[in-house]
Structures are given as structure tokens and as C-alpha cells.
Structure 1
Amino acid sequence: MSTFDWQDCYRPLLQNLEAQGLEGWVDVLNQQLAARFDTNPHGDIQRWQAAWQQLPELADVTAELDRSAITLTSPGMDDGSREQAEAALRGLMPWRKGPFDFFGVAIDTEWRSDWKWDRVAPYVSDLNGRQILDVGCGSGYHCWRMLGEGARRVVGIDPGLLFLFQFLSVKRYLGQVPVDLLPVRMEDLPERLECFDTTFSMGVLYHRRSPLDHLLELKDTLRRGGELVLETLVVDGPEGYSLMPEDRYGQMRNVWFLPSCDTLLRWLDRAGYRNARVVDVTDTTTDEQRSTDWMRFQSLADFLDPDDPSKTIEGYPGPKRATVIAEKP
């Protein structure tokens, strides 16, 4: 049975960062990770760790990272091991971002994150050989797709420890692959890292009280000439228009600004990016976000006006998401 040792888990990443001359970030990370796991651990961490430890030990695991579901297979899988795997994975519910397939156990996540990837990927610069940051990465689904596209190293950040153990459920079978999920927030990163070739921020901007500060923080992570891939909620309207909900939006408390696409482009320009362009605008539907057997809580259908599903339950325009690509000069 595997045990989780955060120092062992992150040692290859920290050594790699040191080799890049990022010793200052390594020192900060050691302090942050010790606080998350040793000093002030989450109250459910033992339960999540126990579920993760129950995953069966399997050899000769193969991963397919370039298809809709992140898929693991092994010739050693049998019915007993498959039942053991499903019980362990259900101990890590709810599963929100995916889908995944663990040795025939199909995890139908709340979000069809593969649909978002299919919308975004055609417009992103070739990821082969690039060092990538994925901000607000959730369970790391898109991190695995980035590795499947040939990324040299992928670092995802998301403070949720449940997401971390979902991510580690994949990584435990793949060995020392250059993909890591750090349970930290964007504001926990040092200023002016300037070490990533591509930074993704998908589904984060509208959760920030100051969207311009978020755009500046993202720019700080990029090397000169690096690429930002930004996906966020938007509304229809002219340049300068932005919706600020009175309280909740789609029952979410922490939604602050939903700009028009032209306003979003102006924000990026004011934040110092160049060549910002909208590459996709798509309405979010109840086919893409919904309750499933692996996420049994309320989902999008419960957050829309039952008499007019083009609006949220609060009467705001329904969710529409735009993807913008921009570069750091």
C-alpha cells in the first residue's frame, strides 16, 4: 500500500526548479507545502489519503493522454482489482473535471472538460517542449492533456486537496512524469517568476475581485514572448461594459466581473499584453456541465431559470465562455 509523503512527491519538481535557478521559489514552496500538510492539514485529508491508498497496485500501466478520457490500462487488471479501484475512486467523490477511465472504471465527471480542450487546443501554440503553468487546474485533467501534447513540464496549481488526491490517483501509476499539482493559490506564487512558456487560466478570472491584478499576476509568470491562454465567463455588450452580479451568479457566491469580449480585450491591452484575440465564444449547456453518478450534487440545470434557461436563476444572462490568446512582449 502506497503512503503519501509530500516531500518525496515534490522532490523531482523542486530539484528541477533549483536547476532552473529558481531557488527562491523552492524555499517558498517548502514552507507552503509544510503548512498545508504538516502544520495545518485539511480536516478531510486522512479520509482522502485513505481512499487514494486503497487503489490497487498494478504493473505495466499504459496511459493514453491524447483522447477525451484520460485512460489507464494494465494487463494485470482483474475483476477484483477493478472493484477495488472503483471503491477507492468513489472515496474521492465528487469528481468535477474530467473524464477519466481507470482500467475500465469510467468516471463521468460533472464537466466535460474534454469539450473545453477541443475548443481551446486548435488555437494554442505548439506545446511540444514547453514549460506550462495551469492556474486553477482542478483535478489536473488539462495538465495531462498538455503532457499528451508533448509539454516538457507542466505545473498545475489549485488549493483544493481533494483535487490533489484525484490528480495523484493518475500520477501514482505513471511514475516520475514531469507533471505536478501544487495545492497553492495564484497569489501564493512569487512575483516575477517569468519561467513559463505558456500559462493557462481557465475558469478563474471571474472569481477574482480584481481581474486586472489577475492578468498582471499571470503576465509575471511568463517569460518574454510567452503565451497566455485565458478562458472566462463573458456577457454580450459594448467595449467598457461588464456585469457585476448583485450577489450570486448561477448560485455561485464568488463571481465578480463578467466583461464583454471587447472589454476583456481592453483589459488585456491595459495589462500590457500584445496581440490579444478572442478565438472562441461558446454558451455553456447542461450537456457540458451536469450532475452525474460521480458528482451527485446540484449542477447547471439547477442554477438556470426553469422558465427561461437562457438566464440564470437570478435573472442574469446564462453562462457564455470566451477564450482569448495573448502574448507577453
Structure 2
Amino acid sequence: MTRFDWQGCYQKLFDELVKEGLQDWEDLLHRQLAQRFDENPHGDLPRWLGALATLPALANVTGETDTAAITLRTGQPLSDADAEALEQGLRGLMPWRKGPFDFFGTYIDTEWHSDWKWDRVAPYVSDLTGRKVLDVGCGSGYHCWRMHGAGASQVIGVDPGLLFLFQFLSVKQYLGDVPVDLLPLRMEDLPPGLNWFDTTFSMGVLYHRRSPLDHLLELKDTLRPGGELVLETLVVDGPEGYSLMPEDRYGQMRNVWFLPSCDTLMRWLDRTGFRNARVVDVTETTTAEQRTTDWMRFQSLQDFLDPDDPTKTIEGYPGPKRATVIAEKP
């Protein structure tokens, strides 16, 4: 299998956008996805499609998206052949970074305990029941599934990583006709002036942007008036006005630009037109939350910290600390 049927994959979303009066966005998505998959396909696309095709077809599948591990079940135990095919297909989609997932008893212990982040964030988010939700930088879509489990009527995740898309589809192909989609796009590929989503999440993205204020403005542009922003980002200690700009890498990551203090982050939100911004959680990231596993065998946080002082990165900067902020669009 070398061609991805993206039109079939996204047809229900296309229909929903037209129904909502977003024909221009639907037209734009057709052009963007055609370019991504038909005109300039990724070299690993056949391998990922092959892994997806290896996953066994199973009957009577049910899913739990409101639990720590996104869990798929079926009415009867898997045959040895199906269990082997399942393991082979899922391992063909490694590395698994965000999760965890439970595929019919095969537990994927991902690099990140993304459930811990959700547990920190969820108590402060407005009830998602019936809301249209955008998840920017969604990775493999773990949090998209949790948003669905919390009652959202429509969830759209955006992340340019194509492997993430096929990890997401490994879940969706079993859950079928659910209003959750992952678009393999960048935030800036979304049309300006959407003003459509009730809640927009941006978790772990802001520090990757050269212009954090432009990112905040783009996020505000996605929300309807009165909509809610849920922002989670790396921060550092310091007074209002202070932010850290690494000389080169931060925790071995090249694309880290600004780590603000919480007070500076509040000022950024105020200057970009948000109201009622408040910090609801600040938590240090530990090697219990982010680590190497059998499903992600590359280096992880323990390799990015100073071995003599784990409160600092290997470059000597303050270790990773993440703040969650809730704010509203006027």
C-alpha cells in the first residue's frame, strides 16, 4: 500500500465544515492534503501505511477515551495470529511518545505520561460537553481522545508530524465514525479569522515558536468570542519582563526560543488581548513523567539533564518546569 486515501479519511470532517459554513476552510484543506500526500509524499509513507494495514480487523470493538490509557476492547480474546499482527503493526509505528494506550490488552507505555498532564489541566478547563475543540501540537492525538471522552462534540488536532497521524489512525480505525480528527498541518496552515472553536488547547508549543506573541494571536484567532484558551508551556522563575532565550539548545532541543516567567506570560496574554488570564498549575517535569520505554527506545529526559545536578539541563539552564494558564477571548 503506497497511497493514502486522505479524502475518505477526512470526508466526514469535510462535510461538517461545509455544514458549518466553512466552505473556504474545506477547500483549503483539500489543497493542503493533496500537496502533503499526493504531490510530495513522505518517503516513509508506504512503511506507515503497511503498519496500519497489518493491524487486524476485529469485531465488536468498544473504546474508553475517558481513562488514563486510551483503551480498546473487543468481546472475545484475540487469536494468537491477531495478537501477533497487532504487535507487529503497532511496533511498526514506533516511537510512541504521547500516551498511554491499551490495544486489546497490548499496553503501549509511551515516553510521556500524557495522562499526568491531562490530570493537571482538566480540573480547570470549562466543561467540554458539546464544545468544538482545537488541540494545537497534538502529537499522536492522546489528548484529543481525552477531550472526546470529556464530552466535546468536535475535536480537531493539528500537528505536522506524519507518524503522529498514523498512530492516531491506529486508534480511529477501530473506533470508527467519531468526531475526532488529526490534521497533519502546522498552526499557521489554519485559515485566519476562524473564530469557530469554543476551546483551544496549546500544550507544549509556545516555546517552539520564534514569535510567541504571534502564536498567542493565532490562537485567539481560532476562538469564538468568549472562547477559552488552555495554554501549557515551559516557564522559568523570574520577575515580570524576564524570559530565558537559550544560546543554542535547551535540554538538547534546538527549537526552543523563549521560556518566560509566569508574570511575563501573563503580560504577553494581556498584550495580545486575552482577559481573565490565570496560572492554574506549575509543575516540574521529572524522569518519572518523561522517560525511555520499550515503545520509545531513544534518549529521553534523563539524558538531557546534568548528571551531577538534575535540577539543571545538560546545558546548565534551569530544569524543565511547566505552567498551565487559562484565559478567555473577549
Aligned 8 A contact 2:4 2:37 in 1: no
2:225 maps to 224
After TM superposition, where is structure 1 displaced by more than 4 Å over at least 4 residues in a row? Answer: none
2:282 maps to 281
Aligned 8 A contact 1:82 1:104 in 2: no
Q: Would you say 1:160 and 2:137 are equivalent positions?
A: no
In structure 1, how many angstroms separate the alpha carbons of the residues matched to 2:321 and 2:245? 15
Unaligned ranges ≥5, structure 1: none
2:47 maps to 47
The one-letter code matched in structure 2 to 1:293 is: D
Q: Would you say 1:95 and 2:96 are equivalent positions?
A: yes
The one-letter code matched in structure 1 to 2:309 is: D
2:149 maps to 148
The one-letter code matched in structure 2 to 1:58 is: L
Q: Would you say 1:195 and 2:234 are equivalent positions?
A: no
Note the alpha carbon deviations across 1:60-87, whole angstroms, 9 max, x for none: 1010111110000112422321121011
The one-letter code matched in structure 1 to 2:257 is: W
- Counterparts of 1:151-300 in structure 2, within 5 Å, are 151-300=152-301
The one-letter code matched in structure 1 to 2:75 is: P
Note the alpha carbon deviations across 1:195-244, whole angstroms, 9 max, x for none: 00000000000000000000000000000000000000000000000000
Partner SS, residue 121 of structure 1:
helix
Note the alpha carbon deviations across 1:23-67, whole angstroms, 9 max, x for none: 111111000000011000111011001000000000110101111
Aligned 8 A contact 2:244 2:260 in 1: yes
The one-letter code matched in structure 2 to 1:125 is: S
In structure 2, how many angstroms separate the alpha carbons of the residues matched to 1:7 and 1:311? 47
Aligned 8 A contact 2:145 2:180 in 1: yes
In angstroms, what is the RMSD of aligned CA positions? 1.1
* Corresponding pairs, count: 329
**TM-score between the two structures when normalised by the length of structure 2:** 0.98
2:38 maps to 38
The one-letter code matched in structure 2 to 1:25 is: W
Note the alpha carbon deviations across 1:93-138, whole angstroms, 9 max, x for none: 0000000000011000000000000000000000000000000000
1:158 Cα deviation after fit: 0.4
- Counterparts of 1:66-145 in structure 2, within 5 Å, are 66-76=66-76, 77-145=78-146
Partner SS, residue 172 of structure 1:
helix
In structure 2, how many angstroms separate the alpha carbons of the residues matched to 1:176 and 1:4? 18
In structure 2, how many angstroms separate the alpha carbons of the residues matched to 1:36 and 1:53? 20
Aligned 8 A contact 1:248 1:314 in 2: yes
Aligned 8 A contact 1:131 1:198 in 2: yes
Aligned 8 A contact 1:62 1:74 in 2: yes
In structure 2, how many angstroms separate the alpha carbons of the residues matched to 1:315 and 1:31? 45
2:307 maps to 306
The one-letter code matched in structure 2 to 1:69 is: A
In structure 2, how many angstroms separate the alpha carbons of the residues matched to 1:107 and 1:284? 21
Aligned 8 A contact 2:206 2:215 in 1: yes
Note the alpha carbon deviations across 1:283-319, whole angstroms, 9 max, x for none: 0000000000000000000000000000000000000
The one-letter code matched in structure 1 to 2:122 is: A
Q: Percent identity?
A: 78
The one-letter code matched in structure 2 to 1:31 is: R
2:29 maps to 29
Q: Would you say 1:318 and 2:319 are equivalent positions?
A: yes
**TM-score between the two structures when normalised by the length of structure 1:** 0.99
Aligned 8 A contact 2:207 2:234 in 1: yes
